[in-house]
Chains A and B, each alone.
Chain A
Amino acid sequence: MATTAVRAQQKAFTLGRSQWLGIVFLAAGLLTFILFGRGLEAGIKTKFGLNPGFASQAIPIPDLTLPTQPTIYALVLMMLVLGVLQLIRGFRFADALLGVVALCFVFAFLTWAARGKSFNLVGMLGSSLVRATPIALAALCGIMCERSGVVNIAIEGIMLISAQVAVVVATVTKNLYLGLAAAILSGAIISAFHAAMAVSFKVDQIVSATAINIFATGATSFISARFLEKNTNLLNNSGTFRIISIPLLSKIPILGPIFFENGVIVYLMLILTVLVHILLFYTKWGLRVRAVGEHPRAADTLGINVYLVRYVNVILGGMIAGIGGAYFTIGSVGRFDEIMTAGKGFIGLAAMIFGKWAPFGAFASSILFGFADSLQIKLQILRVPIPSEFLLMAPYIVTMIVLTGVVGRAEPPAADGQPYEK
């Protein structure tokens, strides 16, 4: 009896992840149909604008007008087919397909939400990239720190302080690049402190990071109230980085305006993503970093200075976070408001985990979050009947879903968060 009970359990057990994903795909397709595919007026069309809203170098191309109902039906069909195939056969790249299904869902949603109206798709993708920038930079900082074994949840605090430093220096010196440099410097200093706490004093890394966050919130609000509010023009009015079009590349339709017509900070983010990837996986330093993060004692026995590696990485990460902080002020609105980072530092950490501690993965995840962010603004414009507050919750809910590991658990570096004792 017990044997059959266990056999039954065994059968139930073989409903593994592969099958679950198939069910998810199917459910997504059905949901799409139920939510978006019904009650559509015949002949209604959705227009996707493919030219950016601002004056752009890109060669103009005609907008994409799709018949709403057939498009949605086609997407539903695709999701259902993928779901059935996944259930029966199971694909090797099931995770990537999950992304495809998610894209279908979102596209169907957009087609529905903008029915009968026009929707600037390129503009939204472009703004997704821009909004993803601080998240991606935060994620890169996280990767630099955690790959060497130091957990850093103080990214939020570092970005907040750097944001303020950037705008003040930029206003006073009337030079945005000096502001950026100051932000990088402040990021380095604060993260050096965190590194000292984590590596030399061997303090609980989450506690010390929380202290930094508290201090950052207090200090920036203090300075804001004490000085910035009264002297806005002298201290808190820096202007922002102008959009720079990369010659030739910016002429490409669709891709051009999205990738090649941006502010300096966005370009820095793209460059740093590639740089960090090369650094981590192709250089001598990167090999040592990875070793220290996985098995510091092994690295120690080979003569590598674990403490030094961690210090350097955390400080470099802090500098990247400094750039991320600068985005909020001199890259975006040109002034500092209290607690303007709004949790982006933590969302960056979620992007890092989602991206399996790899720069390109984190970049992709950041785009996802940036997309969610810019979506809720667009939805408000489209007057979609969901209260704006709920839309604003979207990035946070997505983060939580991501963290449950439903999209595949990854292992952090083995020595993550553990102080190294010689």
Chain B
Amino acid sequence: MPLVLELRGITKAFPGVLANDHIDLTLEEGEIHALLGENGAGKSTLMNILYGLYQPDEGQIFLRPRNRSVIPASAASRDGLVEVKIHSPNDAIAQGIGMVHQHFMLVPPLTVTENVMLGLESTRGGIFLDQRAAAQRIREISQQYGLEVDPDAYVRDLPVGVQQRVEIIKLLYREADILILDEPTAVLTPQEVDRLFSTIKNLVKQGKSIIFITHKLREVMEIADRITVLRNGRVVGTTTPARTTPAELAAMMVGRQVDLVVHKESLTPGEVVLEVKDLQVLDDRQHLAVNGVSFEVREREILGIAGVQGNGQTELVEALTGLRPVIAGEIRILGTPVTNANPRKILEKGVAHVPEDRQRDGLVLSRPVHDNLVLCTYYLPPFAKGINIQEDTIIATASRLVEEFDVRTPSVFVPASTLSGGNQQKVIVAREFSRPVKLIIAAQPTRGLDVGSIEYIHQRILQKRSEGTAVLLVSPELDEIIALSDRIAVMYRGRIMDIVPAKGVNREYLGLLMAGVEASEAAKVAPPTIGVEEVERVF
């Protein structure tokens, strides 16, 4: 198939890091080209350059010329492609390039129509908005590509899967031929992922070309026509699913042999550490986010809570850690009721909390590493005598923890903001795991981290499990849950749909639960267990 896009020698440096190092990439018409790499490999940077949000330091972009507003920089062409300079998203859009970002670029208080036409508004007399014309066009696109949306709905009321459709419609509204999708499956249930893939195949049938950015090997094998692997800003190789395996891809991504399988020893669970009964919690908009949840977590076991983000997991974790009021139900830790206790009391009971948003909730970025390491314990001896802070003890302990938990930092005195994401998470883990804890609540502990850090954190969690700690793991990454958990609970719209043993669990069954199908119905379609196999971590 003819080429529609070529990137040649794209190089981009930020202070301290070479994000893209002379990258070459081609895209054929009607192709689904996956860009694979771990977090921090440079995928998003490359696509942001293509979309005009960044400017490359070196390198060229070649495109198939469009009839309208071509901005040729030189006459050099190859395969009928012309070099262009893309200075801004406006240029990219004019060239027929569209991008759906990992974090949606939708304005929640506005309607679908307003979001779609933003920047390319239909107007009467050039000033007044013509919503009807735009809505009409949206309906046409909806029909043509099978992307159902209600143009008058407010984006904030739409479920995530539908919001993604709006994002795609935005691109089609601007007649994009090259669509860049950045980690589109991060927020979808398995069923929605299937739906997305069929949408993508449909788009391709109608002549569009797709660049699909991801770090998930499974997806790449399923949908890509070609795969380009990036590592540390460089292209490591280009191949097709037929000619490679997940293990090989993982090795290319990370640069060494990666253990895709999590080695988990079989342990007998002990006493009940966390007991939750009929819990009800409201969200910020006074709706019921947690609706009668019950479960227990024992010593030496990991209970994984699976489910797409936004089904009450965040509110559940907040309720368990005392950060959100409980309106009904009970929480007990080691038999002691702690419902609506204040957060400090819960921490003192031996609970470690690794929060979902490490930069906002887990660390004080402007303060030195050593202060962050005692954020929960600064008021206790030996770090404080009465109200006096013992700085030397803090610094000594901090230095010890940094060593023990392999935190890469020039010293304990630098602000936490200077650390990389992986090391920031290690600081939080060091702080939480070094306390005498009976229960660990970890919410998305490996989000946005590089493979090395992910491995390290998984290993630490398993180690704590062996030591007798109970672990509650909340993650939207189904593979992580399946790999680490002993038992898996699926949350949907604030309810636990079912709790099943992790050994030999059937992904399809879990997927149905995550989409809201009742357990009894789901079991008819897919059995909960499919036999004991070695479970792959697969990032």
CB within 8 Å of B: which residues of A?
Answer: 2-3, 6-7, 9-10, 13, 282-285, 287-288, 290-291, 294-295, 297-304, 414, 422
CA distance A262 to B166 in the complex (A): 49
Asked if B328 and A298 sit within 8 Å, CB to CB, the answer is no
Asked if B327 and A9 sit within 8 Å, CB to CB, the answer is yes
CA distance A3 to B330 in the complex (A): 6
Q: Is B337 an interface residue (CB 8 A)?
A: yes
CA distance A84 to B88 in the complex (A): 60
User: A415 — nearest CB in chain B belongs to which residue?
Assistant: B107
CA distance A10 to B104 in the complex (A): 36
Provided the pairs A6-B329, A303-B89 are in contact, do residues A291 and B110 lie with their beta carbons within 8 angstroms? yes
In the complex, how many angstroms separate the beta carbon of B48 from the nearest chain A beta carbon?
Answer: 9
Asked if B107 and A301 sit within 8 Å, CB to CB, the answer is no
User: B116 — nearest CB in chain A belongs to which residue?
Assistant: A302
CA distance A301 to B121 in the complex (A): 15
Q: Which single member of B89, B108, B127, B340 contacts A300 (CB below 8 Å)?
A: B89
Provided the pairs A2-B339, A300-B89, A301-B99 are in contact, do residues A10 and B106 lie with their beta carbons within 8 angstroms? no
Asked if B328 and A294 sit within 8 Å, CB to CB, the answer is no
CA distance A303 to B51 in the complex (A): 10
Asked if A298 and B105 sit within 8 Å, CB to CB, the answer is yes
Determine chain A's interface SS by DSSP, over half rule: helix
Asked if A283 and B129 sit within 8 Å, CB to CB, the answer is yes
Asked if B108 and A295 sit within 8 Å, CB to CB, the answer is yes
Using a Cβ cutoff of 8 Å, how many contacts connect chains A and B? 90
Q: Which single member of A282, A284, A287, A301 contacts B53 (CB below 8 Å)?
A: A301
Q: Which single member of A2, A284, A303 contacts B127 (CB below 8 Å)?
A: A284
Provided the pairs A2-B330, A288-B118 are in contact, do residues A298 and B93 lie with their beta carbons within 8 angstroms? no
User: B119 — nearest CB in chain A belongs to which residue?
Assistant: A302
* CB proximity to A under 8 Å, residues B11-59: 51, 53
CA distance A299 to B93 in the complex (A): 13
Asked if A287 and B128 sit within 8 Å, CB to CB, the answer is no
Q: Is B436 an interface residue (CB 8 A)?
A: no
Chain B, 233-269, contact with A by CB distance < 8 Å: what is the 0/1 string? 0000000000000000000000000000000000000
CA distance A9 to B326 in the complex (A): 9
CA distance A304 to B86 in the complex (A): 15
In the complex, how many angstroms separate the beta carbon of B278 from the nearest chain A beta carbon?
Answer: 8
CA distance A412 to B462 in the complex (A): 44
In the complex, how many angstroms separate the beta carbon of B211 from the nearest chain A beta carbon?
Answer: 16
Asked if B118 and A304 sit within 8 Å, CB to CB, the answer is yes
Which of chain A's residues have a CB closer than 8 A to the CB of B107?
290-291, 294-295, 298-299
Q: Which single member of B51, B118, B337 contacts A291 (CB below 8 Å)?
A: B118
Which of chain B's residues have a CB closer than 8 A to the CB of A10?
327-328
A-B contact pairs, 14 of them (CB 8 A): A2-B339, A283-B128, A291-B110, A294-B107, A294-B110, A295-B108, A298-B115, A299-B118, A300-B53, A301-B105, A302-B105, A302-B120, A303-B90, A303-B119
10 A-B pairs with least C-beta separation:
A302-B119, A303-B90, A298-B105, A2-B337, A284-B121, A303-B89, A295-B107, A294-B107, A301-B105, A291-B107
User: B105 — nearest CB in chain A belongs to which residue?
Assistant: A298
In the complex, how many angstroms separate the beta carbon of B92 from the nearest chain A beta carbon?
Answer: 8
Which of chain A's residues have a CB closer than 8 A to the CB of B90?
303
In the complex, how many angstroms separate the beta carbon of B107 from the nearest chain A beta carbon?
Answer: 5
Asked if A284 and B129 sit within 8 Å, CB to CB, the answer is yes
Which of chain B's residues have a CB closer than 8 A to the CB of A302?
89, 93, 105, 118-120, 170
CA distance A290 to B328 in the complex (A): 39
CA distance A288 to B129 in the complex (A): 11
Provided the pairs A2-B337, A6-B329, A6-B330 are in contact, do residues A295 and B119 lie with their beta carbons within 8 angstroms? no
Which of chain A's residues have a CB closer than 8 A to the CB of B127?
283-285
In the complex, how many angstroms separate the beta carbon of B286 from the nearest chain A beta carbon?
Answer: 9
User: A290 — nearest CB in chain B belongs to which residue?
Assistant: B110
CA distance A3 to B327 in the complex (A): 10
Interface size class of B (residues with CB under 8 A): 35 or more
Asked if A294 and B108 sit within 8 Å, CB to CB, the answer is yes
Q: Is B270 an interface residue (CB 8 A)?
A: no
Provided the pairs A7-B328, A10-B328, A303-B93 are in contact, do residues A297 and B121 lie with their beta carbons within 8 angstroms? no
Q: Is B493 an interface residue (CB 8 A)?
A: no
Q: Is B503 an interface residue (CB 8 A)?
A: no
* CB proximity to A under 8 Å, residues B62-99: 88-90, 93, 99
Which of chain A's residues have a CB closer than 8 A to the CB of B121?
284, 287
Q: Is B114 an interface residue (CB 8 A)?
A: yes
CA distance A25 to B73 in the complex (A): 71
In the complex, how many angstroms separate the beta carbon of B14 from the nearest chain A beta carbon?
Answer: 13
Q: Is B101 an interface residue (CB 8 A)?
A: yes
User: B337 — nearest CB in chain A belongs to which residue?
Assistant: A2
Asked if A282 and B128 sit within 8 Å, CB to CB, the answer is yes
User: B329 — nearest CB in chain A belongs to which residue?
Assistant: A6
Which of chain B's residues have a CB closer than 8 A to the CB of A422?
53
Most B-side CB within 10 Å, residue of A294, A300, A302 = A302
Provided the pairs A301-B51, A301-B99 are in contact, do residues A287 and B330 lie with their beta carbons within 8 angstroms? no
Which of chain A's residues have a CB closer than 8 A to the CB of B119?
288, 299, 302-304
In the complex, how many angstroms separate the beta carbon of A418 from the nearest chain B beta carbon?
Answer: 13
Q: Is B109 an interface residue (CB 8 A)?
A: yes
Asked if A287 and B114 sit within 8 Å, CB to CB, the answer is yes
Q: Is B411 an interface residue (CB 8 A)?
A: no
Which of chain A's residues have a CB closer than 8 A to the CB of B418?
none
In the complex, how many angstroms separate the beta carbon of A303 from the nearest chain B beta carbon?
Answer: 4
Other than the known A283-B129, A302-B118, what 14 A-B pairs have Cβ atoms closer than 8 Å? A3-B278, A6-B326, A282-B128, A287-B117, A294-B108, A294-B109, A294-B110, A295-B106, A298-B104, A298-B115, A302-B89, A302-B105, A303-B90, A414-B109
Asked if B118 and A287 sit within 8 Å, CB to CB, the answer is yes
Which of chain A's residues have a CB closer than 8 A to the CB of B105?
295, 297-298, 301-302
CA distance A9 to B340 in the complex (A): 11
Which of chain A's residues have a CB closer than 8 A to the CB of B143?
none
Which of chain B's residues have a CB closer than 8 A to the CB of A291?
107, 110, 118
Asked if B129 and A287 sit within 8 Å, CB to CB, the answer is yes
Chain B, 106-142, contact with A by CB distance < 8 Å: what is the 0/1 string? 1111100011011111010011110000000000000
Which of chain B's residues have a CB closer than 8 A to the CB of A294?
107-110
